[in-house]
């Protein structure tokens, strides 16, 4: 522990005699009622009563509230639990990449070494970069790409190929030529300075190839994969000529232009991938980076036929899906988080526990503790992992909610623990399957579990905080022209925050604004335990 001292007793509230328990109902957001909302479609009398409480308010769990670059960015379990456990908002996404590049930390990673080692010298492989080509700073930023290119050349990489996805969505509709001109200038500078062969190899609009999301259009990903990997696409002598020609043939913006490849004088694609090459995806936002990452690194990939899939070393700028660990290799580590809630609890001598099943065990331990493995103080902490079943989650929507609840009740009734945190994973993991009926059943099991926990909290004169880390089960499908498409991703929905205080008698009230988020919960929990929160924590959601 660093810079952590014991918490000070609260000036006016001594806390309850019983324990404080935080229940994270993973993936349970707040969205309008309707047939796509598994949360509202389920029979959930306990959750309904909680959400109607006077001590209930929605919280933000995406975008800026959890350290992501913009409010267009979905939250996820990793950044959500970081915020819950840290009590503050730490930079994620683009902000994190900027810091990692500026400090040089990105280029000191084993992943950067492994990716570049394959491609050093004239006898090495080719280093490929795929990414959205603009400075829109929603999915990517060209400054990141340029930094990667320059550092690769400095390390001795002699051959690199760029596979550029034209934007026209986060930037003006037909702005590709300006970005290409700048990039060609950077490539010319690198080639002249380092005697290298860096060039653009392929491209196309972001809504035509590669950058699908939510598994809505695998053929889109297949077009991108074949274009970037095998050189399949309309041939042009340069990317600039490709865009100029396509502009003349259509009034569509950059994002809808078809795939193209750059060829040499003999008509051969200049950037086919081969065994021994490396591939870096330079996007930082996850939703449109997951599927192409799966296509490159999943040995058992079946969404489409990849043909002669080359043996490449693949890495993402970030890890785009921390639940599924996609991709395995990534260049920017999670943020450095200190002075977490767990550290303060241990410094104060409060016994506490964390429980979840395997799918989310790391979230209530590793991520909650600021991306740190192991115990903070094993004499004060108890971590329990309930092994998850190795089945499709919609086949067993109850998952391990009941077993988590059993273990939690045992620890609460033991009288040893002042604080506990648990994650019930059903809303997220079943939500990801896109199976509405299974998600409804999952939510009813979550409700059952909360009912049992509330009974115990009441018996022990304790406090239960009910919340979630992000949305998912609240929007299970989208509908267009009467056709429903399963939505298996997280949502931008706010999440519930409810205090159930068995002995509440008006001693405090909810406070705050619509900008409150997950990071405000830590200070609130400290107050409910009878302690002042650290000065630098996000403000408590209650006032006295």
Residues 86 and 522: their CA atoms lie apart, in Å, by: 7
> What is the reported pTM?
0.77
Of the candidates 251, 259, 469, 243, the one whose C-alpha atom is nearest the C-alpha of residue 363 is: 469
- The question of whether 543 is a catalytic residue gets the answer no
Question: Token digits for 333?
Answer: 């580590």
Reported residue count of the chain is 544
Q: Which of 77, 100, 388, 449 is catalytic?
A: 77
For the chain, the domains span 20-90+338-543, 95-316
Beta bridge partners of 471: 491
Contact 316, 332 (CB under 8 A): no
Strand 542-543 to 509-510 pairing: antiparallel
Q: Name the packing angle between helices 520-529 and 77-86 (round to 10°).
A: 40
Question: Token digits for 247?
Answer: 């502009």
**For 479, which DSSP code?**
E
Q: Name the packing angle between helices 218-230 and 290-297 (round to 10°).
A: 50
Residues 193 and 137: their CA atoms lie apart, in Å, by: 28
Coil, strand or helix at 463: strand
Residues 4 and 103: their CA atoms lie apart, in Å, by: 26
Residues 442 and 436: their CA atoms lie apart, in Å, by: 10
- Judge whether 20-90+338-543 and 95-316 match in fold: no
Q: For the domain 20-90+338-543, what is the CATH code?
A: 3.40.720.10
Beta bridge partners of 130: 163, 281
Sign of CA dihedral 15, 21, 26, 32: negative
pLDDT tens digits in sequence order for the chain, 544 residues long: 568 999 999 999 999 999 999 999 999 999 999 999 999 999 999 999 999 999 999 999 999 999 988 888 888 888 999 999 999 999 888 889 999 999 999 999 999 999 999 999 888 999 999 999 999 887 899 999 999 999 999 999 999 999 999 999 888 889 999 999 999 999 999 999 999 999 999 999 999 999 997 687 999 999 999 999 999 999 999 999 999 999 999 999 999 999 999 999 999 999 999 999 999 999 998 878 999 999 999 999 999 999 999 999 999 999 988 767 899 999 998 777 999 999 999 999 999 999 999 989 989 998 899 988 889 999 999 999 999 998 889 999 999 999 999 999 999 999 999 999 999 999 999 998 889 999 999 999 999 999 999 999 999 999 999 999 999 999 999 888 888 888 877 899 999 999 999 999 999 999 978 889 999 999 999 999 999 999 999 999 999 9
Task: Indicate the CATH number of 95-316 among 3.90.1150.10, 3.30.420.40, 3.90.1200.10, 3.40.1450.10.
Answer: 3.40.1450.10
Cα end-to-end span (Å), the chain: 30
CB atoms within 10 A of CB 15: 17
């Amino acid at each position: 522990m660093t810079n952590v001292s014991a918490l000070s007793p609260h000036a006016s509230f001594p806390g309850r005699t019983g324990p404080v328990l935080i229940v994270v109902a993973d993936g349970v957001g707040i969205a309008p009622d309707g047939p796509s909302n598994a949360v509202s479609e389920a029979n959930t009398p306990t959750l309904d009563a909680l959400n109607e409480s006077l001590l209930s308010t929605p919280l933000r769990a995406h975008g800026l509230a959890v350290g992501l670059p913009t409010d267009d960015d979905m939250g996820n379990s990793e950044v959500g639990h970081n915020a819950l456990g840290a009590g503050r908002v730490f930079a994620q996404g683009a902000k994190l990449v900027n810091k990692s590049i500026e400090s040089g930390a990105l280029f000191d990673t084993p992943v950067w070494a492994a990716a570049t080692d394959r491609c050093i010298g004239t006898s090495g492989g080719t280093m490929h970069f795929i990414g959205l080509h603009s400075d829109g700073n929603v999915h990517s930023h060209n400054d990141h790409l340029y930094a990667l290119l320059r550092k690769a050349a400095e390390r001795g990489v002699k051959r690199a190929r760029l596979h550029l996805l034209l934007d026209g969505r986060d930037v003006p509709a037909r702005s590709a030529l300006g970005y290409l001109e700048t990039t060609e200038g950077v490539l010319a500078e690198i080639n002249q300075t380092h005697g290298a062969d860096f060039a653009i190899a392929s491209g196309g609009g972001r809504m035509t190839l590669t950058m699908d999301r939510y598994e809505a259009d695998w053929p889109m990903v297949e077009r991108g994969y074949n274009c970037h990997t095998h050189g399949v696409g309309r041939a042009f002598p340069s990317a600039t000529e490709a865009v100029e020609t396509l502009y003349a043939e259509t009034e569509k913006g950059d994002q809808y232009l078809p795939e193209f490849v750059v060829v040499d004088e003999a008509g051969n694609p200049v950037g086919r991938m081969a065994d021994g090459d490396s591939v870096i995806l330079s996007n930082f936002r996850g939703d449109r980076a997951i599927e192409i990452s799966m296509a490159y690194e999943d040995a058992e990939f079946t969404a489409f036929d990849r043909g002669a899939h080359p043996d490449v070393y693949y890495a993402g700028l970030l890890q785009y899906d921390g639940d599924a660990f996609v991709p395995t290799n990534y260049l920017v580590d999670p943020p450095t988080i200190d002075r977490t809630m767990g550290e303060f609890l241990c410094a104060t001598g409060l016994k506490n526990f964390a429980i979840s099943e395997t799918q989310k065990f790391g979230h209530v331990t590793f991520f909650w503790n600021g991306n740190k493995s192991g115990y903070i103080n094993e004499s004060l902490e108890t971590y329990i992992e309930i092994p998850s079943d190795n089945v499709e989650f919609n086949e067993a929507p109850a998952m391990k909610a009941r077993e988590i609840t059993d273990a939690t009740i045992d620890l609460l009734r033991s009288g040893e623990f002042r604080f506990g945190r648990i994650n019930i994973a059903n809303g997220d993991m079943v939500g990801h399957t896109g199976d509405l009926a299974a998600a409804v059943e999952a939510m009813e099991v979550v409700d059952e579990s909360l009912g049992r926990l509330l009974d115990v909290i009441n018996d022990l004169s304790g406090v239960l905080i009910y919340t979630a880390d992000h949305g998912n089960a609240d929007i299970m499908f989208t509908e267009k022209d009467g056709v429903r498409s399963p939505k298996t991703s997280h949502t931008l929905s706010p999440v519930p925050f409810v205090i159930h205080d068995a002995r509440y008698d008006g001693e405090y009230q909810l406070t705050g604004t619509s900008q409150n988020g997950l990071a405000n919960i830590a200070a609130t929990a400290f107050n409910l335990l009878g302690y002042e929160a650290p000065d630098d924590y996000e403000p408590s959601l209650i006032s006295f």
